[in-house]
Amino acid sequence: MTTTFMKSPKYLFTSESVTEGHPDKMCDQISDAILDAMIKDDKSSRVACETAIKTGFVLTYGEVTTKTYVDIDALVREVVNEIGYDRGKKGFDGSTCSVLVALSNQSPDISRGVDRNGLKEVVEYNEAFIQAGGAGDQGMMFGFACNETETLMPMPIYYAHKLTRRMAEVRKNGTLPWMYPDGKSQVTVEYHYGKPVRIHTIVISSQHADKLDHEEVSHERIEADILEHVIKAVIPAELMDQETEIYINPTGRFVIGGPMGDAGLTGRKIIVDTYGGMGRHGGGAFSGKDPTKVDRSAAYAARWVAKNVVAAGLAERCEVQVSYAIGIARPLSINVETFGTGVVDDDKIAAAISKVFDLRPRAIIHDLDLLRPIYRQLAAYGHFGRDDLDLTWERTDRVDALRQAVGL
């Protein structure tokens, strides 16, 4: 998004979310469940775990180095069943599917950069230990925040996620017994001069049972139920009007879903995971990667930085980019873009960020407390702006320090 774009008198912006039963999201959750299980018992675990899924089988593959033992087969089945694919009539059954595992050790060439001078085991987060922890790869990561919602997330992705989370809630609590795990939402917001004014369009698609209690589940019932129990329960009435367009299961039928309807793969929903396209995304996905991978940890840190900048009143919207080289601790660059909304120059904000935040990988891991089994819960409904979770990178704990650093 550019400053010129924000000055447009009227424009539309759309973001989407997917439910936990979407095949790609199933893969993300499996990969992160494996990561959680490994770092729970061995904080020094190195995990780069991918998952692929299709009708009747799950393939988990990648590179891991750990001292603990994880029953991958049992864990995969547990995740699939908890998502809701627990019966064959839904098109997938976690208890009977085939589970294939192809995990090998992580390359020692990568370890040389991440754990320089042999300093791998966490004893004390002193300067020597932090400086010895290089980035696990090269790359650039982005963080974004804006003042459109209470969580400082863009409004389109914020409400898209709230819709899919509500879909999971009414499915699991029995409010909508015909609803199955796979589904999507899409929200289009109308902006005037960079400010959201109304919701223009809502699209929801939900996998559903063909019959319930021996009666066909009609499209009319699905439309009425989702409108009443999902859309009206989530979207504030003042954001909708008579011209708001709503499309529910536009094809009229969505019985075949999940891995039976579409193959799934870890890391294929990175825009859903981040800012819905409003903020840029770096080169890598998050799920299945331990926090020594800056694809994940530095993206979390960049969101932490951007959110504190906006919360401090330094800008109405802020995008932060950091870049790294493999084996090197300090970021190669820090770039700030406030899209013309900053109260001070962007380079002054960037200088303040360098003073207030330590963006070396091991410092990020320490400051955000990332060596914990917290990742599976992030693998659906977004990694940022989660008002249902207490995430360290969502805290606005550096506001005063930033304001002081820029002289306010």
Residues identified as active-site: 22, 24-25, 50, 63, 184, 254, 262-263, 268-269, 289, 293, 295
Alpha-carbon span 79 to 264, nearest angstrom: 15
Name the pairing type of β-strands 245-248 and 195-208. parallel
Looking at residue 153, its amino acid is M
CA distances from 198 to 151, 157, 161, 164, 201 (A): 18, 14, 17, 20, 9
Nearest to 27 by CA among 46, 53, 49: 53
Q: Report the side by side order of strands in the sheet with 57-65.
A: 98-104, 57-65, 46-54, 264-265
> What is the SS3 assignment for 95?
coil
CA triplet 47, 331, 400: central angle to 5 degrees?
Answer: 105
Compute the distance between CA of residue 19 and CA of residue 26 in angstroms, rounded to an integer. Answer: 9
The three-class DSSP label of residue 210 is coil
CB-CB contact of 204 with 167 (8 Å): yes
Local structure of 29: helix, strand or coil = helix
Closest CA to 317 of 194, 142, 403: 194
Measured CA distances, 42 to 5, 60, 75, 116, 295 (Å) = 47, 20, 17, 19, 21
- Interstrand relation of 98-104 and 57-65 (parallel, antiparallel or unpaired): parallel
CA 407 vs CA 299, 337, 338, 352: distances in Å? 27, 19, 18, 10
Task: Give the Cα separation of 49 and 267 in Å (integer).
Answer: 10
Whether the CA torsion 369, 375, 377, 379 is positive or negative: it is positive
Any idea which residue has 């929200």 for tokens? 187
C-alpha distances out from residue 68 to 56, 147, 271, Å: 28, 43, 33
